[in-house]
Amino acid sequence: MKNDSGTDSASAGAIEVSAGVVFRGGEVLITQRRAGDHLGGLWEFPGGKKHPGESYEDCLRRELMEELGIEVEVGERFAAVTHDYPGKTVRLEFFLCRWIREEPRALGCADFAWVNRGQLADYKFPAADEQLLEKLRETRSLWER
């Protein structure tokens, strides 16, 4: 696994995914994967697969509307992770986002939750998210947004 902004041989054929780290009132938004999906039942940061020719930012705005029915302002890239799962490699681009409007609804996910920094440990995330989770725990200033 790599945590970088470049491309390596492992990420060349990777599935490109854009995910949002959406803060509101000292909490971050997480979603639960549907039972029948890859890694079903685990929690993650909302987002999804990037379409060819689509920017990571446009992908994220589209995915958050489809998955949760919310509108966000996509900000700076917070982390990039390439992770190898059996049979596939995933390139995750995580962006800090500001919630703008609409209350989340579980449209394309099993469930969602707004959680504070201390509650993150209560949820089981995919291995690919571990570096991001550690960075979130260490960056206290994000939780004051």
Q: What is the mean pLDDT of residues 5-22?
A: 72
Mean model confidence pLDDT for the chain: 89
Q: Token pair for residue 34?
A: 């549907």
> pLDDT digit string (tens) for 27-45?
999 999 999 887 789 999 9
Nearest to 123 by CA among 136, 113, 132: 113
At the topology level, CATH places domain 15-140 in Nucleoside Triphosphate Pyrophosphohydrolase (3.90.79)
Distance of CA 54 to the CA centre of its chain: 17
Mean pLDDT of 102-113: 97
Q: What is the structure's pLDDT at 36? A: 83
Candidates 54, 32, 35; CA nearest to 122 is 32
Confidence of residue 95 (pLDDT cuts 50, 70, 90): very high
User: What is the pLDDT, as a whole number, of residue 37?
Assistant: 83
pLDDT band for position 12 (cuts 50, 70, 90): low
pLDDT digits (tens, 9 = 90+) for 51-65: 999 999 999 999 999
DSSP result, the chain: -B-SSS--TTTTTPEEEEEEEEEETTEEEEEEPPTTSTTTT-EE-SEEEPPTT--HHHHHHHHHHHHH--EEEEEEEEEEEEEEETTEEEEEEEEEEEEEES----SSSSEEEEE-GGGGGGS---GGGHHHHHHHHH-GGGGG-
Q: Give the pLDDT band (50/70/90) at residue 19.
A: very high
The pLDDT value given to residue 1: 39
Task: Answer whether residue 145 shows pLDDT above 90.
Answer: no
* Prediction pTM value: 0.87
d(CA 93, CA 102): 24
d(CA 72, CA 112): 16
